[in-house]
Amino acid sequence: MNRTRTAATFAPPVMEARRWLEGVVFPEDQPLINVSQAAPVDPPPLALRQAMAEFAVNEDRAHLYGPVLGNPELRAELAEQIGHHYDAMIAAEQVAITSGCNQAFAATISAITTEGDEVILPTPWYFNHKMWLDMAGVQAVDLQTGDDLLPNVDAARALITDKTRAIVLVTPNNPGGVEYPFALVRAFYELARENGLRLLVDETYRDFDSRSDPPHDLFGQPGWENTLVHLYSFSKAYRLTGHRVGAIATGADLLSDVEKFLDTVAICPSQIGQFSALWGMQNLSQWVAGERAEILDRRAAIEDLLPPLADKGWRLLGLGAYFAYFEHPFDIPSDELARRLVSEAGILLLPGTMFMPEGAPSGKRQVRIAFANLDRAGIKQLFERLQTLSF
C-alpha cells in the first residue's frame, strides 16, 4: 500500500522533543531548562488582555465569521506599518491576514505550485516549511549554506530547473538566527525576478532584528508584488501564539488564489486574534520596543558568556532573533546528544538533524538553542551545564 504524502513526512519536531521528557524526573538542584521552542511562554501584556476581554464581551462580531482575507481595518493598519518599516508604499489590498504564519506559507505554496514542482530551501531549514512541501507533493530542493549560514545566490541559480516555482528565505533566520544582509536579500530578489519565480521572505522575527534601518528594499522595487511574498507573524511581538494571527503581503492577484485556500481551511482568521493584533499595533509600540531591547540584551549575554563554552569546543555559527545555533564538540550525532541532554543535564534543545535532509553530516554536528525565554541568569546556567558535559 502506498504511503500518503502526510505519512511520508517526519513527525512535528517540537512535539517529538517534548516526548523525550516523559518519565524523566528532574532534581530540585537541576530543573529542566527548556530551549526547544521559539515561542513566548508568557501571556500578552495585561492591557491587551483586558482589551481582548472587553471585545469578547461587548462585540457580537468577536464571535462571527469575518472576511476570508482578514478584517479591512487590520489589513490597512498592517499595510501602513509595513510601509513605515520598509520605507515604501503598500496598499491594503496587497495584505491578507491568516491563521498564523505557518498558514500563510501553506496558503502561498498551495497557490503557486502543483504536485511535482520544486521550491528551493536553504538549509538548515525551518522544519514546518519542509513538512508542508512534503505534504503538498512539492520537492524541497536543498540549498546548502556554509559556516556563516548564509545562502549563496550562485549556488541557488544552479539549482533552478523548469520545475522551480519559488525560493524561500527566513530572516532573521529560524533556526540559525542570522540576519540576512540587505544586499543578499536584494540579490535573491533579482534572481527570482529574472527567472519568473516567487521569492518568499518569512520575516516572523523582524521585530527582533538588531538593525534599525530597513532590512531590505524589496517593497520599493517596481512591480515587487509580482515576485515578493512577504510573510509575517503577530505571535512573537504581542505574545499571541495561541490566537494564531499571521499575514501575507504580495500582489492582489495572488491573494485571490490564496483566498481559495483560506476559505476551505479556516474560513477566516480568529476575530479576537485580529482585534488583538490591531490593538497591539495601535497601542503597544513602546512595549514592543522594550521586548526587543530585552531580546537583544539576551543575545549580548550569549556573546559575553561564550568564551568558556568555546574553550570546550562549542562553535557559535549563528546568533539573532530568538536563536543561537551551535556546532557541538562531541563524537556523537546531535539527535543522540539532544536525547541524552534531557536526563543527563536537564536541557531540552533541538538537534540539527531536525533542520536538515536525512543523513546530512552537518546536521549531526549542530544544535539549536531558542533562548528568548531565558534571562541572563538562565543563559549563564545553561552554558555552565553545557561546559561540564563529556560524552
Each of the 391 residues of the chain gets a pLDDT tens digit; together they read 678 999 989 889 889 999 999 989 999 989 999 999 888 889 999 999 999 999 999 999 999 999 999 999 999 999 999 999 999 999 999 999 999 999 999 999 999 999 999 999 999 999 999 999 999 999 999 999 999 999 999 999 999 999 999 999 999 999 999 999 999 999 999 999 999 999 999 999 999 999 999 999 999 999 999 999 999 999 999 999 999 999 999 999 999 999 999 999 999 999 999 999 999 999 999 999 999 999 999 999 999 999 999 999 999 999 999 999 999 999 999 999 999 999 999 999 999 999 999 989 999 999 999 999 999 999 999 999 999 988 7
Do 378 and 272 share a structural domain?
no
Alpha helices in 195-227 (DSSP H): none
Structural contact between residues 218 and 188, judged by C-beta atoms closer than 8 angstroms: no
Q: Alpha-carbon Rg of the chain, whole angstroms?
A: 21
Same domain, 180 and 225: yes
C-alpha atoms less than 13 angstroms from C-alpha of 265 in its C-beta half-sphere: 17
Q: Give the DSSP per-residue string, 89-133.
A: ---GGGEEEESSHHHHHHHHHHHH--TT-EEEEEESPPHHHHHHH
Number of structural domains (the chain) is: 2
Q: Quick one: cell of 158?
A: 544552479
My answer on whether 278 and 296 are in the same domain is: no
- 147 and 13 together in one domain: no
Whole-model pTM? Answer: 0.95
Same domain, 249 and 331: no
Same domain, yes or no: 182 and 319: no
Boundary residue ending a domain (283, 311, 335): 283
CATH classification of the domain holding 13: 3.90.1150.10
| Alpha helices in 226-369, H assignment, sequence order | 235-238, 252-265, 271-283, 285-311, 334-345
Distance CA 10, CA 354 (A): 9
Q: Look at residue 3 in the predicted model and tell me its pLDDT.
A: 83
Peptide bond into 172 cis (omega under 30): yes
The CATH number of whichever domain residue 211 belongs to comes to: 3.40.640.10
What Cα–Cα distance (Å) separates residue 83 from each residue in 26, 40, 114, 214, 215? 48, 26, 32, 10, 13
Contact 317, 150 (CB under 8 A): no
CA–CA dist 337, 372 (Å, integer)? 22
Last residue of a domain, one of 257, 283, 309: 283
The verdict on 16 and 125 lying in the same domain is no
Q: pLDDT per residue over 298-328, tens digit each?
A: 999 999 999 999 999 999 999 999 999 999 9
User: What is the arrangement of strands in the sheet containing 366-370, beginning at the earlier edge strand?
Assistant: 315-320, 323-327, 366-370, 350-351
Domain end (from 227, 255, 283): 283
From the list 90, 79, 78, the residue with the least C-alpha distance to 277 is 78
What confidence score (pLDDT) does residue 1 get? 62
What is the distance between the alpha carbons of residues 314 and 299, in angstroms, rounded to a whole number? 17
* Residue 138: all three cell numbers together: 512539492
Of 209, 250, 212, 290, nearest in space to 45 by CA:
290
- Whole domain around residue 291: which residue ranges? 5-43+287-387
Dist. CA 166–CA 119, nearest whole Å? 5
- Give CA–CA dist 346/169, Å, rounded: 33
Q: Which residue has the cell 550562485?
A: 154
192 and 55, same domain (yes or no): yes
Distances (CA, A) of 95 to 124, 130, 171, 252, 262: 28, 24, 19, 8, 14
Question: What pLDDT, on the 0 to 100 scale, is given for residue 8?
Answer: 86
Do 244 and 346 fall within a single domain? no
Q: Report the distance separating Cα 265 and Cα 318, nearest Å.
A: 35
Q: Exposed/middle/buried for 72, CB within 10 Å: 0-12, 13-18, 19+?
A: middle
> Domain check: are 237 and 293 in the same one?
no
Alpha-carbon distance 250 to 39, whole Å? 26
1: cell is 500500500
Q: Say whether both 132 and 267 belong to one domain.
A: yes
82 and 163 fall within a common domain: yes
